Chain A
Amino acid sequence: NAGVTQTPKFQVLKTGQSMTLQCAQDMNHEYMSWYRQDPGMGLRLIHYSVGAGITDQGEVPNGYNVSRSTTEDFPLRLLSAAPSQTSVYFCASSHDRERTNEKLFFGSGTQLSVL
């Protein structure tokens, strides 16, 4: 199994550009989420999904959109990139949508720079 796959690994955008960060998992996990990692701030939750067609906001959702049309995929969209969105983005999934003590499986991250 590939686990959680994120693409691209690196991306540079200009302010105002849009893009989509891709996340796919092949473990049939119901729960998927997006975090951003910034120095000295740990990881902060952007959006999450407990199943196909169901999404909800996390701690820092502004400027980001998500959708969950299939169990496998959970793309993160930046509609108009801003320098404050320069960060490392991680996608994570877990098997059980109900059990909050479930282990999270992380992708290897996308490093995004917005100029």
Chain B
Amino acid sequence: AQSVTQLGSHVSVSEGALVLLRCNYSSSVPPYLFWYVQYPNQGLQLLLKYTSAATLVKGINGFEAEFKKSETSFHLTKPSAHMSDAAEYFCAVTDTGRRALTFGSGTRLQVQP
């Protein structure tokens, strides 16, 4: 069965610092991987997705993620954090045989001034 593990339920960074949110996946077939963001009292929005094209995927708001098959990882990064990045971030996986996403448990990002 496919799954994702997000390391760290809470991450705190200073404004302007590097953001690194970790995601490791488990899948028996080549996966599709996603990062979604949830702002307070809102639904989730797609940040970026990996669908077996380029291993480095660029998303919205300056975020990017790199698919590393050898490490089964899909970590999310942003070079310089902004106050508006404070939100909860979810990694998710699916594969060609399924019609549903499997979500990680989420990482809440705090950005300190």
Q: Please give the residue numbers on chain A whose beta carbons come within 8 Å of chain B beta carbons, in ascending order.
A: 4, 31, 33, 35, 40-45, 48, 50, 56, 58-59, 90, 92, 97, 100-101, 103-104, 106-109
Contact = CB atoms under 8 A, between A and B. Distances in A.
Contacts of B70: none
B90 A43 contact: yes
Contacts, number: 59
Contacts of A43: 44, 90, 101, 103
Interface of B: 9, 32, 36, 41-46, 49, 51, 90, 94-96, 98-106
A107 B102 CA distance: 18
A66 to B, nearest CB: 14
Which of B9, B36, B41, B100 counts the most A-chain CB atoms under 10 A from its CB? B100
Contacts of B95: 100
Nearest to A108: B43
Contact of B105 (A41, A50, A100): A41
A76 B87 CA distance: 27
B94 A101 contact: yes
Given A31-B99, A101-B32, A103-B49, A40 B43 contact: no
Contact of B99 (A35, A41, A50): A50
A12 to B, nearest CB: 17
A1 to B, nearest CB: 15
Nearest to B46: A103
Nearest to A49: B99
B32 to A, nearest CB: 4
A45 B32 CA distance: 17
